[in-house]
Amino acid sequence: MAELSDVFFVDGVRTPFGRAGEKGMYWNTRADDLVVKAMIGLLERNADVPKDRIDDVAIAATSQTGDQGLTLGRSTAILAGLPQTVPGLAIERMCAGAMTAVTTMGASIGVGMYDLAIAGGVEHMGKHPIGSNADPNPRFVAERMVDPEALNMGNTAERIHDRFPHLTKERADRYGMLSQQKVQAAYEAGKIQPDLVPVSTIGADGGWGLATEDEGRRPETTMEGLATLKTPFRPHGRVTAGTSSPLTDGATVSLLASGAAVKEHGLTPKMRMVSFAFSGVQPEIMGIGPIPSTEKALAKAGLTIDDIGLFELNEAFAIQVLSFLDHFGIADDDPRVNPWGGAIAIGHPLAASGVRLMIQLAAHFAERPDVRYGLTAMCVGLGQGGSVVWENPYYNGKKRK
């Protein structure tokens, strides 16, 4: 009879993130090949894990069409060289796709059905722009269930500014600038590169290249420059390109394991899953979604926000993060929050981003044995939020028994 099990995040890797569009480094690269490259890198880093013992592969994508379709978990597993006995599936929860892949596989491990699983996500926003293959039901608008503006993420960000006028454009600009500076500092310190899997690319001229770093960084960003940017979502608005995550291509994958699998294969887990939760909010102001999902996840864990020593929050928009911090009484520049920056500088390839947050939190845990609990959280299109609470297995420098 199956028994409940701990769920461990053993490892995670990602491709460098590229600018979406014809000028981006992945314009001539298939979305599924980005996943395959990342998956091969993950398996190579964890060579002691028998490939035939992996119970399932869950890969998320928001726009499941073309090279992001065909049951990504199954097709990429085969392409990455996993035995054909290993099954796979595709998951879709917009921005929280990879996060949902992890929680779904983690739940299967937790109830004793799985021992090892791979979870991740991909988005090629250059080839598959958000909503490009969608056909929203006309009832949403006809019956006034959802304001049409809710389908534009930038408009929902402007509405957070409307609701919380003390979260000013200047505060959002400063947050965006600091994100760029923190990412650059992390790169210069060699913090981010160890978890990046290089990807061969083909340029517009047919020449080969190698993607080794995130392409969209703008470390030269200043407050003066941000103040002059246009507000594309509303005349005289407050959301700009400098306070938004750019359109991005990229893939992430992670390896999850049960306590029994950790012992059997001699694995060294980087995090233990404590709890997770997803919540719904008004689609028109979807950016506040991580607030209720975090409250639910903390309640399930028996913790409070004061127990969280590190935060990895997805920066879909600066105002979205600021609303979260403001709600929980956390300063805009609190050093616990996104110590190495976030999506405003790195990019946000929708369904891939959840595992990027986990990769960075795991790296922080390795350097911070004084921190016991960390949180990964993100807003989700159409009015949702997702949060996962993690425990540091090396809290106080001692491996958790």
pLDDT of residue 401: 40
pLDDT of residue 327: 98
H or E element at residue 356:
helix 353-367
Helical residues (DSSP H) of 202-251, grouped into ranges: 223-227
In contact, 64 and 130? CB cutoff 8 Å: no
In contact, 40 and 48? CB cutoff 8 Å: no
Domains of the chain: 7-126+246-389 (3.40.47.10)
Q: Where are the beta strands (DSSP E) in 70-111?
A: 88-91
Cα gap 8→31, rounded to integer Å: 27
Catalytic residue, candidates 124, 161, 364, 379: 379
Instruction: Provide the token pair at 58.
Output: 């869950």
Catalytic residue, candidates 95, 124, 161, 364: 95
95 is catalytic: yes
pLDDT of residue 352: 98
pLDDT of residue 398: 57
379 is catalytic: yes
H or E element at residue 210:
strand 208-211
pLDDT of residue 400: 47
pLDDT of residue 141: 77
Of the candidates 272, 308, 302, the residue with the CA atom closest to the CA atom of residue 110: 272
Catalytic residue, candidates 124, 128, 161, 348: 348
348 is catalytic: yes
pTM of the model: 0.96
Give me the average pLDDT of each 10-residue run along the chain (401 residues).
91 98 96 98 97 98 94 98 98 97 98 98 94 82 81 90 96 98 98 98 89 96 96 95 97 98 97 98 94 98 98 98 98 98 98 98 97 98 96 78 40
